[in-house]
Structure 1
Amino acid sequence: MTTDAATRNRLKDMPLPPAPFLSSVMQIEPQWIDYNGHLNMAYYNVMMDRAIDEMWLQLGIGPGYMKERHGSTFTAECHVRYLREIHLGNPVQVSVYLLAADEKRIHTFEELRHATEGWISATSENMTVHIDMNARKVAPFPPDIRARIQAVVDSHAAVPQPEGTGRKVAMPSK
């Protein structure tokens, strides 16, 4: 059996991520705290990216996919909202929703929450594209991966869409 076939067989036996996907609980690292005494804006993205990496493993598009099938994903667009300060010592967890997908893109929405109290600290809405790493160009997902992603999008459609999706950056109207 080829490595590619072995990977596909492994995916068939792997359960789909829940709706929404919940990351592992993460801790804020001391060097991420800025001079204002709270988490620096860049590290919200780090934690949400780590959560996406956890979900990608369950979708079959993590580091093994890149190595074996020469495909990966790149973020094409990102909109982060910072809603409440989070501090050193606060445990965090990220909820990930797959809102939509097509043959080359995945639209996600993440909520970074205080892991024990449940309040939302930040959200991030993203458009991710699939990349053929040999050509380093946007390319369609392989059919087995595309089907798995669509199954997760379909299951996530059954839960209420999180507040804040589709927002844009603009000055408040007067």
Structure 2
Amino acid sequence: MGANPKATRNAMSISSAAAPALHTLPVPFLSSVMAIEPHWIDYNGHLNMAYYNVLFDRALDQLWLSLGIGPDYVQSRGGSTFTAECHVRYLRELHLGDPAQVAVWVIAADDKRLHTFEELRHAEEGWLSASSENMNLHVDMASRKTAPFPPDIKDRIHAFAEAHRAAPRPDGIGRQVAMPSKAAAR
């Protein structure tokens, strides 16, 4: 079962030598609590599938700010991240009025990629609504091609990933979309 953000709020410190701009951050990284907007509710009376991705994206934007790769990074350093792959699991409905919070784990990182896993939970009751696993690529915005992270950013990301390696892994990482096998269906 995935880790409940309320139970994993204990912060892990990232050394200032490895990541001078990072402070003590919770592992997993926790987004701010977000509200479900009225126009996100579909004709089934629940959060439309597209807006789960909006919530996940907003949470990643908050993490990116902590890593130094937010909107200012595009302007100041000419780099950004693009999502290359995303796998969302919809597990329990969210409705208008439900407060939502996303926990983000940095699963792995290399010179050009960030592998993240997110859990979207009801912010007050703690139950899991959805998960999203993503592969993001670092892009040089001038060439619009993948490029290595600058050394200081790479060090920050690797320090963050190292701290996350020590945290319990949530369920669902590496899952695939597939029909159940006939043996499993019996």
Give the TM bin, normalised by the shorter chain: over 0.9
Offset of residue 16 of structure 1: 5.2
Letter in 2 for 1:151: A
Q: Deviations over 1:76-97 (max 9, x none)?
A: 0000000001100000000000
The correspondence for 2:153, drawn from 136, 142, 145, is 145
What is the aligned partner in structure 2 of residue 105 from structure 1?
Answer: 113
Normalised TM-score (structure 2): 0.86
DSSP 3-state at the match of 2:134: strand
Offset of residue 15 of structure 1: 1.2
DSSP 3-state at the match of 2:66: helix
The correspondence for 1:48, drawn from 28, 53, 56, is 56
Offset of residue 119 of structure 1: 0.4
Q: Deviations over 1:133-169 (max 9, x none)?
A: 0111000000110010000000001111110000000
The correspondence for 2:31, drawn from 7, 20, 23, is 23
What is the aligned partner in structure 1 of residue 163 from structure 2?
Answer: 155
Distance (Å, rounded) in 2 between the aligned partners of 1:18 and 1:153: 12
Structure 2 residue 64 is matched with structure 1 residue 64 = no
Normalised TM-score (structure 1): 0.92
- Where does the alignment leave 5 or more consecutive residues of structure 2 unmatched? 1-18
Q: Deviations over 1:105-139 (max 9, x none)?
A: 00000000000000010000000000000111000
Offset of residue 13 of structure 1: 3.7
Aligned pair in 2 of structure 1 residues 69, 16: CA closer, same or farther (>3 Å)?
farther
TM superposition outliers: structure 1 runs of 4+ over 2 Å: 11-14
Letter in 2 for 1:68: S
DSSP 3-state at the match of 1:65: helix
Are the equivalent residues in 2 in contact too, given 1:16–1:152 (CA < 8 A)? no
Are the equivalent residues in 2 in contact too, given 1:17–1:55 (CA < 8 A)? no
What is the aligned partner in structure 2 of residue 165 from structure 1?
Answer: 173
Letter in 2 for 1:18: P
Distance (Å, rounded) in 1 between the aligned partners of 2:21 and 2:104: 22
Distance (Å, rounded) in 2 between the aligned partners of 1:16 and 1:78: 28
The correspondence for 1:114, drawn from 81, 99, 122, is 122
Distance (Å, rounded) in 2 between the aligned partners of 1:117 and 1:14: 29
DSSP 3-state at the match of 1:43: helix
Are the equivalent residues in 2 in contact too, given 1:25–1:91 (CA < 8 A)? yes
Coordinate RMSD, CA, aligned: 1.0
DSSP 3-state at the match of 1:107: strand
Q: How does 1:72-111 map to 2 (within 5 A)?
A: 72-111=80-119
Instruction: Judging by fraction of residues, say which structure has more helix.
Output: 1
